Structure 1
Amino acid sequence: MHRTDVIAIGELAARTGVAVSAIRFYEAKGLIASLRSSGGQRRFLRADIRRVSFILIAQQLGLSLEEIALELARLPAQRTPNAADWTRISTALRARIDARISALERTRELLDQCIGCGCLSLKKCGLYNVQDKAAQRGAGPRYLLGDRAGEIAEVR
């Protein structure tokens, strides 16, 4: 390994916009791994710039650290990930992203109706949830979670 293949923790932080403390946290969680110089200083592979960037993107998508670790484990450890490596991961994440987009679109469409009145799933809602029919499907804002008013049986 050449000296130019590794970078100091400060350079990794500068290149990714992540605090040094966050990089140490990611290392402690096993998301990235450092090498040690002869003086005991942390050194990271240049490929870790992409890994840290992926961590940031995955967190924006709502993935937990455990889920991020599973995805990163699918990448090669000894070389910079290539387009095919990233395609495998992005393909696996597409369904999750599509589901999140659908949920956000549904929320946008129903936001003024359901949350606007403030009742969510209370018996007092005479407009969207007469006699608290939505509660039959479970707790929380049922219509925002995807239930449709017509799908909920009448309360008898």
Structure 2
Amino acid sequence: MTTVAWNAKELTVGQLSTRSGVAVSALHFYESKGLIRSRRTSGNQRRYSRDTLRRVAFIRLSQQVGISLGAIRDALSTLPAERTPTREDWARLSGGWRAELDHRILHLQQLRDDLTDCIGCGCLSLDNCLLANRYDKLGEEGPGPRRLLDAHPGSCATTVTCQPA
């Protein structure tokens, strides 16, 4: 494994890939989407400033919690290009996503809890259950698993006993 000197001001794409654990192709993709940037040498080789390591780490962590690349790009565009982002910069960015993440956590907990017992009402018989989705009424509300996506009154996801749909 090639190590990068701690005081190196710039990294090649290979060094950035090795140090960040992100494939070269992904780094090129991030660059094409405006998430990171490089300068070109006279030989047309990419060189990344060292603070790109932090940006790539931020991108990876943000993706792991489900933040879209567009939202990540928008957040990174508010960071100063002329200096390494500070702890306060990162706190401001991540704090902006707190409400969205809290909402996702709530939905994931709901999904986990509802799937433990059943998909709909608890009888586990989707073929025979008249309460699960009688006459496909939930299809009128939109695509997907409506009871898990929407916490509407009368849904199995929000009540102890199911009411006919």
Q: Indicate if the aligned counterparts of 2:20 and 2:56 stay in contact, CA closer than 8 A.
A: yes
- Residues 44-76 of structure 1 show CA distances to partners (whole Å, capped at 9, x for unaligned) of 011100111111111112222211110111111
Within 2, Cα distance between the matches of 1:126 and 1:154?
A: 7
Show the counterpart of 1:91: 95
Give the number of the structure whose residues are more often helix, by fraction.
1
Within 1, Cα distance between the matches of 2:67 and 2:151?
A: 24
Show the counterpart of 1:81: 85
Q: TM-score, normalised by structure 2?
A: 0.77
5+ residue gaps, structure 1, are none
Within 1, Cα distance between the matches of 2:151 and 2:138?
A: 8
In the TM superposition, what are the counterparts of 1:1-156 in structure 2 within 5 Å?
4-111=8-115, 112-114=117-119, 117=124, 119=126, 125-130=129-134, 132=136, 134-135=138-139, 137-148=141-152, 150=154
- AA of the residue aligned to 2:82: Q
Q: Indicate if the aligned counterparts of 1:133 and 1:154 stay in contact, CA closer than 8 A.
A: no
What SS does the aligned partner of 1:44 have? Answer: strand
Within 1, Cα distance between the matches of 2:146 and 2:31?
A: 39
- For the aligned residue pairs, the C-alpha RMSD in angstroms reads 2.7
Number of aligned residue pairs: 150
Q: Pick closer, same or farther for the CA change 1:118–1:102 going to 2, 3 Å.
A: farther
- Identity, % of aligned pairs? 45
Q: TM-score, normalised by structure 1?
A: 0.81
Within 2, Cα distance between the matches of 1:150 and 1:90?
A: 35
Q: Pick closer, same or farther for the CA change 1:149–1:127 going to 2, 3 Å.
A: farther
